[in-house]
A and B are shown apart, each in its own frame.
Chain A
Amino acid sequence: MIEFKNVYKIYHMGDSEVRAIDGISFTIDKGEFVAIVGQSGSGKSTCMNIIGALDLPSEGEYLLTGLNITRYDEDQLAQIRNRTLGFIFQQYNLIPKLNVYENVELPLIYANVPEKERYEKVIRALERVGLANRMRHYQHELSGGQQQRVSIARALVNDPSVILADEPTGALDSKTGIEVLELLKQLNNEGNTIVLITHDNSIAHQAKRMIQIHDGKVVSDTLN
């Protein structure tokens, strides 16, 4: 599903270079639940950006669902982000002036899905996270945990191949964080491939596999 082949990400600042990713290779298969762990500055965010088709490797290759997207242009990447990936962010990243329904609907609009079909998919996604009754509410009327669940529903709505979660519990209290992680585990059990990025080892241990990153390199890749 996801394949990093000797990926490098190098930034050039004047004379010096910064190697955010310094030669990483791994493979993630369909149905896996993988946590990519590292401290800040380790390169885990850069990893996530590349996996998430928000950025491209400087060297090496990135294959997603068998497609080599290393040289894709911005429009193609946007399409990948829309169809193949589902994002969950630490800050939920909902759009405040849209209500819950409209937020979850957004990926479908960019995918040109017709209205009736959109409705069915949104309802299904919201029911999956238990928020169908909050369809017309706005962000400021929801708790942190609820907002994150809306974000998850949005990530699911277009039936992505991979769900990418960037510190999904970072802004939540521990109890709500546990609930969200439980939801992610359930989604994984239902067959979704999930990649979770975190700096917290205890959260990483809740995934089925852990890839540890340090200084832009993989230091360990173990099953939990």
Chain B
Amino acid sequence: MQVKQAFKMAVKSIKGNRFRSFLTMLGIIIGVASVIVLVALINGFSSDMSESFSTLGTELITVNITGRSADNQVAVDEMIEVLDSSENLAYCSPQVNISVTAKADNENVSTTAFGVNEDYTSIKGYQLNEGRMLQYGDTKNRLKVAVIGTYIADTLFSGKSPIGKSIKLNAESYEIVGVLEEKADSSEGSDDDIVLIPYSAASRLTRNSTISSYLFNASSSTSVEAGINDIQAFLNTKFTSSDYYRISSAAESLEQVNSLTSTLTLVLVGVASISLLVGGIGIMNIMLVSVSERTKEIGIRKSLGGRYRDILTQFVIEAGLTSAMGGVAGIFLGIILAYIASGLLGMTVKISLLSVAVSFSVSVGIGILFGYSPARKAARLSPIEALRYS
């Protein structure tokens, strides 16, 4: 008997008992739908993370030096030397954070001043709006100049050009030489709430001459690891143990997030698989009932020439088709629920085609696997006894 016929018979059987077929499929539908939704949510989360890391800059490397000893200080020039000698690194800037009260005319505002060098804005991705960025000369000549963000500019100079004007940082006077372009939303605490001064001047504000924070940019996102190795190689010549410093990168953090989401996905899929397993048992159960109820029919079919394999094929296809239909319904339900969840929870969803393909295949597989035993039972019935059954 051709497979096409078996399919038609299977469809007839399923249609003939719609409610029961639906109940049979329910386990599969729920299992598949939950896999689709959960994977979509995790995928969305992971994708969001990737995006925010890439805006941070996946080439960003942060170095913090915690060890302090008079003999083993790291000088800015030495770090610059590391930058120059490595093909994996593109930029380097020290970063000294100082809380300041910035005053101009009659306005003042509390903010953070960053003591940096001319590479800083390239590393952080700031663009110039007015004037100029910090230059090497500012540091070399120990000038007291500042570049400010739009929040500072708006708050202290209310729209007028601050170039050339003076700004007081903790009572020290700086000349404003540049205004950065808006990066975020010009609000307090945002990326636009920033004052950049040469690090040479910054040390004067803090009365601390050692610089403990450096930002590097790798030449590309693929050379981050090599770049970190270069930095590490240098720092190990300075310090006896790696406890004295800490190197972290956005790429590394991203990898940790990806690893976390992978594990999370596996766990959730494992849990959802249990639901699929239960669904499979449900199918087996119903198929056994179905075989029992159709004993007479099987006897008739055998008396008309249905062989063992004809009956087996018929019931296996019926089970497989039932679970396949459950799988398709589950996929649609899962996609709809994913979008609803996204709307309600405000989370991003990204439907994974792989999860769709895998859950569909698994549901068909489960139907065939769990339908096989009842099908075998049907195929082995003795036609005489089956015909006598009522």
Contact = CB atoms under 8 A, between A and B. Distances in A.
Contacts of B16: 97
Contacts of A54: 303, 383-384, 387
Contacts of A93: 296, 299-300, 303, 387
B307 interface: yes
Given A49-B384, A54-B384, A97-B16, A111 B305 contact: yes
A106 B308 contact: no
B300 A95 contact: yes
B12 interface: yes
Nearest to A164: B303
Contact of B302 (A78, A98, A112): A78
A52 B299 CA distance: 13
A154 interface: yes
A82 interface: yes
A109 B5 contact: yes
B144 interface: no
Interface in B280-311: 296-297, 299-308, 310
A202 to B, nearest CB: 26
Contact of A75 (B1, B5, B307, B387): B307
Given A75-B308, A78-B307, A109 B302 contact: no
A89 B302 CA distance: 14
Most buried by B among A89, A109, A112: A109
A107 B1 CA distance: 10
A214 B1 CA distance: 40
A74 B302 CA distance: 10
B307 A109 contact: no
Contacts of A107: 304-305
Contact of A106 (B13, B299, B301, B384): B301
A3 B387 CA distance: 25
A98 B294 CA distance: 13
A81 interface: yes
B306 A78 contact: yes
Contacts of A52: 303
A112 B5 CA distance: 10
16 contacts: A52-B303, A54-B383, A78-B306, A81-B305, A87-B303, A93-B296, A93-B387, A98-B12, A106-B301, A106-B304, A107-B304, A110-B1, A110-B304, A110-B306, A112-B1, A154-B304
Given A78-B306, A107-B304, A112-B2, 19 more contacts: A49-B384, A54-B383, A54-B384, A54-B387, A55-B384, A75-B307, A78-B302, A81-B302, A82-B305, A83-B305, A93-B387, A95-B297, A98-B12, A106-B304, A109-B1, A109-B5, A110-B1, A110-B301, A154-B304
The 9 closest A-B pairs by CB, nearest first: A82-B305, A110-B305, A78-B307, A97-B16, A107-B304, A93-B300, A81-B305, A75-B307, A54-B384
